[in-house]
Structure 1
Amino acid sequence: MKSELNFIVKKDDQVFDMHELGIWVQSFHILSPNINRSKLVVPSMAGAHLSSTQEGERRVSIEMLIESDSMIGFDQLKHQIFDLFYSKDKLTIIRDLTPDKEMYVMQEGDYDIDSITCSDGEFNITLIMLDPYLYGEEQSREFTSDVFTIENEGTIEAQPIFELDVLAPVTFAMVQNDNEDYQMIGIPVEVDTEVVDKTTQIIYEYGQTLNEWYTPSGNWSGNFASTGTAIVVDNWGAGEEWHGPALMKEIDPLDDYEIELYVYTRTEREDQTFRVSTNYYDENMNQLGMLRLWDKTTNQVRKVVEARVGPYVGDDINYLISHRNYNIQGQRVWGGIVRLRKEGNKLTFYAARVTQGGRHVSSVKQVYMDVNKEYAGRLKYIRFDMANYGDTRTPNEVRIEHLKVRKISKIKVDQTPYIAYPGDTITFDHHNKELLINGEDVKELKDFGGSFFDLDKGPNQLVVHPSESFNTRIKYRNRYR
């Protein structure tokens, strides 16, 4: 027989059912909202003025009985319960009574399991809800037009996530509600303003046009191949140290530019090594810098990103990104980008892992000001290579998803640049307070008056601008007190 008050706990991607653990839920109480009110007392005036109201943390009180076949089993179950409810992160509870709602809790303080017999016991535990609301299942709706109405069926406001798939080049994106709250990135075009592309694609290589590259001079071995959507190594060659193939390409010289390397790798063993790099040079073959992902250890699984200005002149010299600020140990799979953006004498280096959902995580951004213009030469040559060290094992998988080179143009006062193009996705995440294009943070594009507004209880009319420029989705979870 199962208690009608039974519940499950989700922790560390595992699910623990109280009934299956041998726990009888005797009572389960969610305490009322905890309202904190600030008041202003005015001399010579009766009472007080309400200054502000805030919902504080909330508490959940649970009484449970445990039963075991032996004293040893009782002790084991007791410590299993201690371990279950302790966590540095929040736990998720879903009650059998309300399987469509979940709450997030944490243990605070201690509790004891009192023995009824040598193999039975009872205990009361109080958990805190730092987020004092219950959450329903995620709702997802497709806008059928640029004006769309959403019904929030929760008892309080919901926090929406808007995803705008771009259908036409846009200089701005905006979502507005019927309270005149809005969120916006970019700049609307004025009638006397010219719309321009700030970036122009020069190279977009993902294995389709490897025949347009040539093998550079140097001690390279092996050769590349194409999967049709990525660049892989067909033959690593051989050598006592780093060995593998390389390709190079010449372009019309660029003053300002962006270079982006997207790499995916999977290593299951500690004795696997790899190196994926791109080096770039000016018109006189002076090296302007390098971008890289590699694992050069044989005693641990490790992913290190490196980004350097200029040629190699010594370990840790001129490295904006290195093992000091991007060193991930124990992660078998890493897929993400390493990028340089040069505008005038400002060099911005960026690295991030890209999740399966397309979001940038574990990111780092570093800026180098080339005040002496040591690396101001115009970009002329691009080289990329992949290598393995000596006779160490090669990775289970490693590929270059793409190598992009873009020209960056200077924007004049009477010009407005596009911020997104067909195929891009703009995300306004009002739950996590994020503004993203293709998963990358773009808060620098936020309009000053924009805000992360909520969905009111009941109907909400939403408008997307500019019209006929997006396929729009909204995701949200109903919230309840």
Structure 2
Amino acid sequence: MIFNGIDLSPYLRIKEIHGRGISPSELTLIDVPAMDGAYYSQKRRPPRVIEIEADIRASNREELRTKLDQLNAILDVNQPVPIIFPDEPDMIYYGIPESTGEGNEYTFLHQVQLTIICPDPYKYSDEVIVEFPSDVVTVTNEGTAEADPVFELEVLEPVTFAMIQNQDEDYMMIGRPVSAEEIAFEREERILHDAMNSTVGWVEGVDIDGDISGTMVSADGKFVVSDFGEPSEAKWYGPALRRSLPELLQDFRVDILVENFNTTEGVGRVDVYLLDSSNRTVANIKMSDAWQTIKRNRARGYLQNPERTEQLIYTHETTSQATGELWNDFDGIFRFQRIGNLWMLYVGKVRPDGTHHARRIVRYSDTLEEFSQPIAQVQIHMGIFDDHPPTDLAIKDLKVWKINDPADDQVPYIAHEGDSIVFDHTNEDILLNGEPRKDLKDFGAKFFKLKRGNNQLIVHPDSFNTKLRYRKRFI
């Protein structure tokens, strides 16, 4: 028996397992006075209860007590975990121990009964991966129950929509097609992409929160600090660089990938500013660990004009569950966006597979147009405080988009060549380049399942390399 990835055969000799036979159902019936029988309403599958009888064997009493202690530690889990039984090596159950019973104990033997509750009553196969050879395929689900698919679409050309439907006309879709009376439109026009391979095009920074000193260089495809300079009265100090945009921007989106891998002793911050043509700050996001003896990254986000500052992102919680603690060892994204008078600041970590998590999104309606200055420059800064050792800081990528306002007969592109779209019907989520984007979901779309047997799947338009992942599910 494999419990949560651990082979229990050195601890347990299983004698009997109950709860994997004919699956029960719970029926909901409606009684009607004076009527024989009842009306059937619905049925559900209750949690699966697995009961195991086993012996724990040892060569002496001391070894027996040690094995019991080790087994208690292994079985002490806080959520359902994968369980594999030796006579079903290709099936995975998900359960959590609920209770135990004890039989006789001898010098070399302890008899035990273990009850495991599986809130999800189904068992699962390993993941099945299907590469679509065309935009119409038939997939055979060999499980005895419906399965939850995950569709991964690699975009080959600009698209205004992405859609997958089945033979029952259930469908999942984001965006919308272009009619004969409409034209596709580039709403987000990328005007700058800097992969941080060189500091050419960047000049000395201006007006940071602290003193500018030291040197920033490009190394291994990212900007890092080669020298922070000398401590100053401002306490925070380090290099800053800025670069001009190809044009002044009113409506825009700026994405920048940064790192702040912090330590208990280290102190450091990474800072990104949007500047106007007079070198004045319009918006700023920073990720900093300012504590000497604790590992605690914090994000701050501001809008600013010469008269006042509006703070949008501020994390002050100090518990282990606070967003700030989730931002430790930060490897993620800062985003600035302004459309009309609506600002959005975004901070999130990015996993190696590109998915976003530990996210914070704050929107602000600038109805008085206090922070409406056109954006002319992007400024970056990495700094340390006083003479404390630095955290591991880096700036990895910068992209800037101009956001255009569509006419009534224009339909915006939602994805471009190289982008990734994921329809995750297991978790009921939609990801665009790793970022949750359920806001793009069509009103009538649904997270449909793979039926038992044959499923015809159609992809629209024919502009993707499509992959399906699912796990066969058994009653």
Tell me the TM-score normalized by structure 2.
Answer: 0.92
Select between 37-46 and 370-379 the one with higher mean Cα deviation.
Answer: 37-46
* Mapped pair 1:225 → 2:217: yes
- For the aligned residues, what is the CA RMSD? 2.2
Distance in 2 of aligned mates of 1:72 and 1:125: 22
Displacement, 1:114?
3.4
Structure 2 SS opposite 1:328? helix
* Mapped pair 1:301 → 2:324: no
Residue by residue over 1:18-74, the C-alpha shift from the partner in whole angstroms, topping out at 9 and shown as x without a partner, is 2223x1111112244341222233445432222222222111111111123333433
Q: Is the 8 A contact 1:198 1:410 kept in 2?
A: yes
* Mapped pair 1:129 → 2:118: yes
Q: Which residue of 1 aligns with 2:14?
A: 25
Displacement, 1:188?
0.9
Displacement, 1:336?
0.8
Structure 1 SS opposite 2:100? coil
Residue identity (%) = 31
Among residues 239, 243, 248, which one is paired with 1:245 in the alignment?
A: 239
Displacement, 1:119?
4.5
Residue by residue over 1:205-250, the C-alpha shift from the partner in whole angstroms, topping out at 9 and shown as x without a partner, is 2214531121134542222222363222232222242222111123
Structure 1 SS opposite 2:146? coil
Q: Is the 8 A contact 1:274 1:388 kept in 2?
A: yes
Q: Is the 8 A contact 2:355 2:435 kept in 1?
A: yes
Distance in 2 of aligned mates of 1:47 and 1:433: 39
Q: 1:33 to 1:185 in 2, by over 3 A?
A: same
Q: Which residue of 2 aligns with 1:40?
A: 30
Distance in 1 of aligned mates of 2:203 and 2:256: 18
Q: Which residue of 2 aligns with 1:422?
A: 417
Distance in 2 of aligned mates of 1:27 and 1:168: 57
Q: Which residue of 1 aligns with 2:444?
A: 449
Aligned partner letter, 1:351: V
Aligned partner letter, 1:261: I
Q: Which residue of 2 aligns with 1:289?
A: 283
Q: Is the 8 A contact 2:327 2:349 kept in 1?
A: no
Aligned partner letter, 2:421: I
Structure 1 SS opposite 2:204? coil
Distance in 2 of aligned mates of 1:466 and 1:224: 45
Q: Which residue of 2 aligns with 1:387?
A: 383
Residue by residue over 1:374-407, the C-alpha shift from the partner in whole angstroms, topping out at 9 and shown as x without a partner, is 1111112221111122322233x43212122221
Aligned partner letter, 2:388: T
Aligned partner letter, 1:348: M
Select between 47-56 and 141-150 the one with higher mean Cα deviation.
Answer: 47-56
Select between 457-466 and 195-204 the one with higher mean Cα deviation.
Answer: 195-204
Structure 2 SS opposite 1:101? coil
Alignment of 1:249-328 (within 5 A): 249-251=243-245, 252-267=247-262, 269-310=263-304, 318-324=310-316, 327-328=323-324
Q: Is the 8 A contact 2:305 2:371 kept in 1?
A: no
* Mapped pair 1:471 → 2:465: yes
Q: Which residue of 2 aligns with 1:407?
A: 402
Select between 189-198 and 257-266 the one with higher mean Cα deviation.
Answer: 257-266
Alignment of 1:172-251 (within 5 A): 172-208=161-197, 210-217=199-206, 219-227=211-219, 229-240=221-232, 241-251=235-245
Displacement, 1:441?
0.7
Q: Is the 8 A contact 2:260 2:287 kept in 1?
A: no
Residue by residue over 1:452-472, the C-alpha shift from the partner in whole angstroms, topping out at 9 and shown as x without a partner, is 1111112211110012x0000
Q: Which residue of 1 aligns with 2:150?
A: 161
Among residues 72, 83, 89, which one is paired with 1:93 in the alignment?
A: 83
Displacement, 1:132?
0.8
Distance in 2 of aligned mates of 1:333 and 1:115: 50
Q: Which residue of 2 aligns with 1:358?
A: 354
Q: Which residue of 1 aligns with 2:39?
A: 49
Q: Is the 8 A contact 1:198 1:409 kept in 2?
A: yes
Displacement, 1:324?
2.9
Structure 2 SS opposite 1:211? coil
Among residues 100, 105, 114, which one is paired with 2:95 in the alignment?
A: 105
Among residues 368, 375, 383, which one is paired with 1:372 in the alignment?
A: 368
Among residues 58, 61, 67, which one is paired with 2:48 in the alignment?
A: 58
Distance in 1 of aligned mates of 2:365 and 2:376: 21
Q: Is the 8 A contact 1:206 1:231 kept in 2?
A: no
Structure 1 SS opposite 2:10? helix
Aligned partner letter, 1:398: L
Residue by residue over 1:146-203, the C-alpha shift from the partner in whole angstroms, topping out at 9 and shown as x without a partner, is 1111121111111110000000000100011111111001111111112111111222
**Structure 1 unaligned residues grouped into runs of 5+:** 1-6
Distance in 1 of aligned mates of 2:47 and 2:326: 36
Distance in 1 of aligned mates of 2:215 and 2:273: 18
Aligned partner letter, 1:126: T
Q: Which residue of 2 aligns with 1:4?
A: none
Structure 1 SS opposite 2:416? coil
Structure 2 SS opposite 1:318? strand
Aligned residue pair count: 464
Displacement, 1:327?
4.3
Q: Is the 8 A contact 1:207 1:225 kept in 2?
A: no
Aligned partner letter, 1:107: P
**Structure 2 unaligned residues grouped into runs of 5+:** none
* Mapped pair 1:9 → 2:3: yes
Aligned partner letter, 1:130: P
Aligned partner letter, 2:53: E
Residue by residue over 1:131-157, the C-alpha shift from the partner in whole angstroms, topping out at 9 and shown as x without a partner, is 111111111111101111112111111
Q: Is the 8 A contact 1:162 1:474 kept in 2?
A: yes
Among residues 447, 454, 459, which one is paired with 2:454 in the alignment?
A: 459
Q: Which residue of 2 aligns with 1:3?
A: none
Q: 1:228 to 1:82 in 2, by over 3 A?
A: closer
Distance in 2 of aligned mates of 1:300 and 1:138: 41
Aligned partner letter, 1:24: R
Structure 2 SS opposite 1:420? coil
Structure 1 SS opposite 2:426? coil
Q: Which residue of 1 aligns with 2:333?
A: 337
Q: Is the 8 A contact 1:300 1:329 kept in 2?
A: no
Structure 2 SS opposite 1:302? coil
